[in-house]
Amino acid sequence: MGRDMVVTSDMDSVRQSALDHLWMHNSDWITMAEEGGPSIMVSGDGVRVTDSEGKVWIDAHGGYASVNAGYGQTGIADAMLEQMKKLTYFPQGTTTVPLIRLVEKLGELAPANLERVWPASGGSEANETAVKIARAYHKRRGDNGRYKVISRRGSYHGATGGVMWMGASAGLSDFEPAMPGMLYAPQPNFYRCEFDSSTPSECAERSAKAVEDLILLHSPDTVAALIGEPITSAGGVSVPSDEYWPMVREICDRYGVLLIADEVVTGFGRTGRMFAMEHYGVVPDIMTIAKGITSSYLPLAATISATYVADAFAGEDNVFRQALTFGGHPVTAAVALKNIEIIEQNDLVGNSERMGAYFLERLEELKGRHPSVGDVRGVGLLLGLELVRDRETKAPFDDSLQVSKRLTDKMSERGVIMRFSGDKVTIGPPLCITKDDIDEIVSAMDSAIGEMESELSLR
């Protein structure tokens, strides 16, 4: 008992230090203190984490849809330590064996001729690098006017100075003026199609045609690239119909626009394929990866270019001028190699496909029982759910009802970390999840949504 009290006292001090000094993502310390937070996690195993009070939680988000191999992979920790004992960094103008082996492996895994790898520290950096490569590539070819970048409304590509303007996200007024050259195309989300389409295919075709219209409106010789997640993770997930990406690929080819596939979330098995563009049989000109490359055990990302893009930078006068201190760190490279080995040896890509299909089936059952569930969607273990006040009109809930906070709190009470945003939630658990884990999550959702509907007199 005395020992437990000491531990509790120590943790109270740690929590107070967090409130005094830590600036957490999308949080403020005053509200956290009022709510008794922040929660402090101390260990993890598979899809579960344990907090400082000893409570065990299911992490339905898998970090930021990024702990692909699951928590508690001691083999990754061993690989990290082994490399740290040998070499922790590298002198300028040199490289290391782990990084060379990693880029070789990535060249094998990536589709077609995506073979030239630029290492970075995180997804935002990888996407910034991709845009810089695209703009510089056109300049190398004499197309000096190509600087504009097309993204899709409702997407998210990072938080740094350039890419944060992609996707036309709300809440950016603090950081104005906006980055020049940002163009926005429709999101091919049939449930919220901008064209009031009658089928997913019609929405996909009209959304792709809108990309072409945007290029023509701004003149092809001003557009450098289009960036998009193959399957959009933000806003409760958006899965385009099969027609969309082949059409966009053809449009980009027609007008000399580089296609950047943002696989930061979708890569390394998240959608039941190693990379999500494989679902559509489309090869981008540039691909960005992060998150699942190390399952978030250490920060690492990369921008992978097709050889015909990278070759524009070969030669002394053509060097791509950028240096990132922690890009290509030998310890993170060793971790990535071990992580990929675990993903392959345990068939986590296949498990994502199988468990994702089961999870989607269970969410469809949930939709059948609850009038507030307007839509469920997803591929593999990248799944989304959207709530509505009226299923027939798709009308959203009024903000004053605080539906997202209600459900986030109710899921927390049931031991599941699942944070709703507005009327939507994106679910991306570790790829080692089992049917029993899924049943436990869906049971908690069933109970929480039912309780919310009763409180709002929806049943």
10 within domain boundaries: no
Q: Could you tell me if 378 and 384 are in contact, meaning their C-beta atoms sit under 8 angstroms apart?
A: yes
DSSP H stretches of helix in 315-434: 330-345, 348-369, 403-413
My answer on whether 308 and 401 are in the same domain is no
Assess whether 333 and 430 both reside in one domain: no
Tell me whether residue 205 is in a domain. yes
Looking at the structure, tell me whether residues 220 and 328 fall in a common domain.
yes
**Is residue 221 included in any domain, yes or no?**
yes
- Return the DSSP state at 238: B
Same domain, 442 and 326: no
Token digits of residue 20: 């005094």
Q: Are residues 59 and 132 in the same domain?
A: no
If asked whether residues 391 and 377 sit together in one domain, one would say yes
Q: Do 47 and 404 contact (CB within 8 A), yes or no? A: no
- Residue pointed to by tokens 């089936």: 361
Number of domains the chain is built from: 2
Determine how β-strand 286-289 pairs with β-strand 301-306: antiparallel
Q: What is the CATH number of the domain that holds 287?
A: 3.40.640.10
What tokens does 370 get?
A: 């609850």
Question: Within this chain, do residues 114 and 230 fall inside the same structural domain, yes or no?
Answer: yes
- pLDDT for position 169: 79
Would you say 423 and 386 are in contact if contact means Cβ atoms under 8 Å apart?
yes
Domain assignment of residue 226, yes or no = yes
Domain carrying residue 231: 74-345
Calculated CA dihedral for residues 344, 345, 348, 350, nearest 10 degrees: 80
Residues 361 and 302 in one domain: no
DSSP assigned state of 51: E
Domain end point (choices 322, 345, 368): 345
Reference 71, options 350, 297, 313, 247; nearest CA is 297
- Return the residue matching tokens 């590539």: 137
Question: Which of 298, 317, 345 corresponds to the end of one domain?
Answer: 345
> What separation in angstroms does the CA of 366 have from each of 9, 159, 168, 385, 444?
42, 34, 31, 10, 11
The answer to whether 420 and 407 are in contact (CB under 8 A) is: yes
pTM: 0.95
Asked if residue 46 and residue 165 are part of one domain, the reply reads no
**Between β-strands 223-228 and 148-152, what pairing exists: parallel, antiparallel or unpaired?**
parallel
Q: How confident is the model at residue 7, as a pLDDT?
A: 53
User: pLDDT tens track of the chain, all 459 residues?
Assistant: 333 433 555 888 898 898 888 888 877 888 878 777 788 999 999 999 999 999 999 999 999 999 999 999 999 999 999 999 999 999 999 999 999 999 999 999 999 999 999 999 999 999 999 999 999 999 999 999 999 999 999 999 999 999 999 998 777 888 889 889 999 999 999 999 999 999 999 999 999 999 999 999 999 999 999 999 999 999 889 999 999 999 999 999 999 999 999 999 999 999 999 999 999 999 999 999 999 999 999 999 999 999 999 999 998 888 898 999 999 999 999 999 999 999 999 999 999 999 999 999 999 999 999 999 999 999 999 999 999 999 999 999 999 999 999 999 999 999 999 999 989 999 999 999 999 999 999 999 999 999 999 999 886
Q: 314 is written with which tokens?
A: 């070969």
Q: Tell me the CA distances in angstroms from 12 to 3, 17, 18, 175, one per residue in order.
A: 14, 9, 10, 36
Residues 261 and 171 in one domain: yes
Residues 356 and 297 in one domain: no
| Residues 359 and 427 placed together within one structural domain of the fold | yes
Contact 267, 292 (CB under 8 A): yes
345, 380, 409 — which closes off a domain?
A: 345
